[in-house]
Amino acid sequence: MKNSVRGLLLVTGGMIAGALISASLAAPERAARTVLPLDEIRQFTDIYGAVKQYYVDPVEDKKLMKEAISGMLQGLDPHSAYLDENAFNELQEGTTGEFGGLGLEVSSDPSGVKVISPIDDTPAARAHMRAGDIIFKIDGKIVKDLPLNDSVKMMRGKPDTPIELTVLRKGSSTPITVKLIRAVIKVKSVKSKALDDHMGYIRVSQFQERTASELAKALDALNKSGNLKNGLVLDLRNDPGGLLNAAIGVSAAFLPKGTLVVSTKGQTADAKKEFLTTPQDYQVVREDAAIAKLPAITKTMPIVVLVNGASASASEIVAGALQDHKRATIMGTKSFGKGSVQTVIPLRGEAKNTAIKLTTARYFTPSGRSIQAKGISPDVEVKDTAEGNFLDLDIREADLANHLEVPEAKDDKTKPASEVKSDASGIKETVEPISSKPKKAPKFYKYGDPDDYQLNQAIAYLKKEDAKKAQPAAGTQEIQLEGGIKMKIEPVK
């Protein structure tokens, strides 16, 4: 299973969960065209020699070269990195859904380690770690000056061993101490349940090699119980991403065969690709064939996709594809904006068990919108709670140091959630908050629970859409959704 990552694209918002396509270190014909910067190389060797001769303690050549490679990659963008043997093995294990640690998706930050997302049902989630938390001490050691890989290593360890994190959290005037017990992280990427009124709920917490096949099973079960008749809520909140193949497979469950899901653009010809809802683009395991055999209702039922500021990479690809093809209503808050491709390049010779993770392309939605540093804006904006957003879900890709800039070639066509939209029935709707003034501190909840505010708003939206199709309004109507959202429905003039 550890070698299954080779040949796969992995799209993710941070370091713990992964990497991308496998490639050779350097094609001979491309290497021959590379002009070496001789002045810069001389400068490097001068510094290298000075360190060897004058540093207070002797330093091994192997360590110096490793640190030089790490620094070169870290200075490019937040997602390029050197993977030593342990990091490379852990990356591969993460794509199969089982690995050791705390269950955090993280990125680098000038103050320490930034939490992109806690993973469902892990020590981090149970300890109420939140997206946007800054870990600045691990077991009492300040980590702001450490490479991210070193901080990740400190958080990993044998199962059942304790660890203490000191966390800076927006809205808290003092550091927070979080005590956790390490565990083997077994991530169940797809969860589902039947909802009332013949509706279904599916949550995808991470895109792994079996996510598409697990989604097919969940959809088939919901259909057999009659819980797709009036719609589906697809929950991608706090989903940090994962395998691109899985994102294509999930999209293929809801879109016709051969539909464009995402395209990539980079410096090389290999980086310029289009990915379609065809088995050759999404099938990883034999069970993925079930996607093509799903009942016809999965291509026509109403869908609401829930996203938030911690929905990144693969989850943004799915949301963007369903939004562009007008297959689903995107609800929630703006997504993270991680729209770049990383390639895992195994190294050669004595370093054959190590690799580099290198950003090689950007992602674009079917209509040509760049996801990078922009994210996916919802069609219907719904805050985390009736009282407003959680204070810590406002960290995006654009806030990370050295993030890739947004290309200027094509403007983002995403419209603000408050703009008017029309559907095939000739009805237009405007959805807006009744009041933006917070009443009290937001109450945290577990996704999918009965008190899940955004889920309840999605259910209410599907109910109103179903009622609207059954009996179109003759004149303007105002409908009250739960907890602070009103909907105006009127005929298009």
Active-site option among 114, 338, 357, 374: 338
- Cβ atoms of residues 64 and 52 within 8 Å: yes
The secondary element (H helix, E strand) that includes residue 105 is strand 104-109
Using CA of residue 311, residue 315, residue 321, residue 327, what is the dihedral sign?
negative
Could you tell me which of 206, 284, 217 has the C-alpha nearest to residue 253? 217
Q: How far is it between the farthest Cα atoms of the chain?
A: 85
Local structure of 284: helix, strand or coil: coil
Cα(134)–Cα(136) distance, integer angstroms:
6
Q: How far apart are CA 291 and CA 282, in angstroms?
A: 10
From residue 185, alpha-carbon distances to 17, 146, 209 in Å are 11, 24, 16
3-class state of residue 388 by DSSP: strand
**Reduced to 3 states, what is the DSSP secondary structure of residue 135?**
strand
Both tokens of 100, joined, read 């050791």
Structure tokens at 179: 């005590």
Q: Which two tokens stand for residue 441?
A: 């501190």
Q: First and final CA of the chain: distance in angstroms? A: 58
Alpha helices of 102-210 — where are they, by DSSP H?
123-126, 148-155
Q: What is the C-alpha to C-alpha distance for residues 197 and 195, in angstroms, rounded to an integer?
A: 7
Distance CA 115, CA 133 (A): 5
What residues pair up with 304 in beta bridges, in sequence order?
A: 233, 329
| 383: annotated active-site residue | no
Catalytic residue among 313, 335, 370, 377: 313
**How is residue 207 annotated by DSSP?**
B
Neighbour-count burial for 40-73, b at 16+ CB within 10 Å, e otherwise? eeeeeeeeeeeeeeeeeeeeeeeeeeeeebbeeb
Do residues 235 and 446 lie in contact, with contact meaning Cβ atoms separated by under 8 Å? Answer: no
Distance CA 51, CA 249 (A): 51
Q: Which of 324, 379, 384, 452 is catalytic?
A: 324
| Selection from 344, 301, 348, 352 nearest residue 10 by Cα | 344
Q: What residues are paired with 112 via a beta bridge? A: 109
Indicate if 57 belongs to the active site.
Answer: no
For residue 180, what are the β-bridge partners? Answer: 163
Q: Is 379 one of the annotated active-site residues of the chain?
A: no
**Residues identified as active-site:** 313, 324, 338
